[in-house]
Amino acid sequence: MICAQLAVLTSAAAADGTAPKTRLDPPGGPGFATALLKAELPPLPQIAPNPPSDSRNLEGTWFHDQLLETRIEHDMYGNPLPFSAKGQRILDDRVKATYVDQLPYANASAECIPPGQPWQIDLNFPFQIFQSKNDVTFVFQEYHGIWTVRMNQPHRSAGALEYMGDSVGHWDGDTLVVDTLGYKRSLWLDVDGTPVSSKAHLVFRIRRIDYDTPKLEIITTVDDPELYTAPWSMVRTYRWRPDMTDFVEYNCEYQVGTSAGVSRYGLSPEPPENNP
């Protein structure tokens, strides 16, 4: 429940690059933000059920297997992100607002607006997958977000814009390939504001893997000519956590959520030119 607040936490970082200092008491106590960033979890109980035997069955509860990245700087192959001049300017402006001006911009999560799949699946919070013949649905604890993938269907008309875009999927062997476009607004990929425009075309390749322990792998490819000079990809993996099926309540208004909350936590409106 703290990703919007992480922007506030990081805004207290000194301009010389020293570690951020907390400006508020996050729910859960002083070590809560540190534990979140490190994705610390108790071991999976021995009595926990195994994943479904069918590799095309993604159903169950999954939890991030990697550290939270507050700023994505490289693709899955270690190459620097291929920013266009506009993309680099937007990121630089957001970073300056947070670390130098100490007035971070209010992003979608601060406004209780769905933040898009890349940020939603990058958070260190559990999510569940449900699937049928016609749909695959991701339900996230954080923001109580929902991502529905319509299987073997064409995209909706160009005017049907949604905060999570329009996602259609098909199976490529044991990999679920999800094609997404039609975003209602531009996206932040992370807390520092690595940008994606509303005109971006995102492809997610999702599959089960098992290297001594069952995991879910999601490779996200960003094709966004407005903010990047070439398509690029990032990869994330998720642990099988059937013991985390009961989600805790999420209350967006309690965290930031309203215009009053935005000013209360030291956030500021982002210039419209940063939201292509």
Q: What is the C-alpha separation between 263 and 14, in angstroms, rounded?
A: 21
Average pLDDT of the residues of the chain: 83
Domains of the chain are 3-41+58-274 (2.40.128.20)
- Side-chain half-sphere of 262: how many Cα atoms within 13 Å? 16
Which residue in this structure is represented by tokens 């570690």? 19
Cα dist from 198 to 21, 232, 244, whole Å = 33, 17, 33
Percentage of the chain lying above the pLDDT 70 cut:
80
CA dihedral 194, 116, 61, 172 (to 10 degrees): -90
Give the pairing type, strands 146-151 and 166-172: parallel
Residue 120 pLDDT: 92
Q: What angle do CA 133, 138, 143 make, to 5 degrees?
A: 155
Whether the CB-CB separation of 118 and 224 falls below 8 Å is answered with: no
Average pLDDT over residues 10-26: 36
Contact 136, 149 (CB under 8 A): yes
Confidence of residue 9 (pLDDT cuts 50, 70, 90): very low
Tell me what the mean pLDDT of segment 59-64 comes to.
95
Residue 27 above 60 pLDDT?
A: no
Q: Which tokens is 21 given?
A: 């200092």
Length of the chain: 276
Using the predicted structure, report yes or no on whether residue 252 has a pLDDT greater than 60. Answer: yes
Ranking 32-41, 114-123, 159-168, 171-180 by mean pLDDT, the lowest is 32-41
Q: How does pLDDT run across 144-189, given as a tens digit for each residue?
A: 889 999 999 999 987 789 999 999 999 999 999 999 999 999 999 9
* Residue 115 near residue 107 (C-beta atoms within 8 A): yes
Residue 139 has phi, psi (to 5 degrees) of -120, 120
Residue pLDDT, tens place only, 90-107? 999 999 999 999 888 988
Distance CA 236, CA 234 (A): 7
pLDDT digit string, tens, across residues 207-240: 999 888 899 999 999 999 999 999 999 999 999 9
What pTM was estimated for this model as a whole? Answer: 0.85
Is the model's pLDDT at 29 over the cut of 70?
Answer: no
**Helices and strands (H, E) in the chain, number of each type:** 6, 11
More confident residue, 187 or 273: 187
- Per-residue pLDDT band at 276 (split at 50, 70, 90): confident
Residue 8 has pLDDT above 60, yes or no: no
Compute φ and ψ for 88, nearest 5 degrees: -65, -40
Query: What is the C-alpha separation between 73 and 75, in angstroms, rounded?
Result: 7
The closest of 102, 84, 78, 91 to 13, measured between CA atoms, is: 102
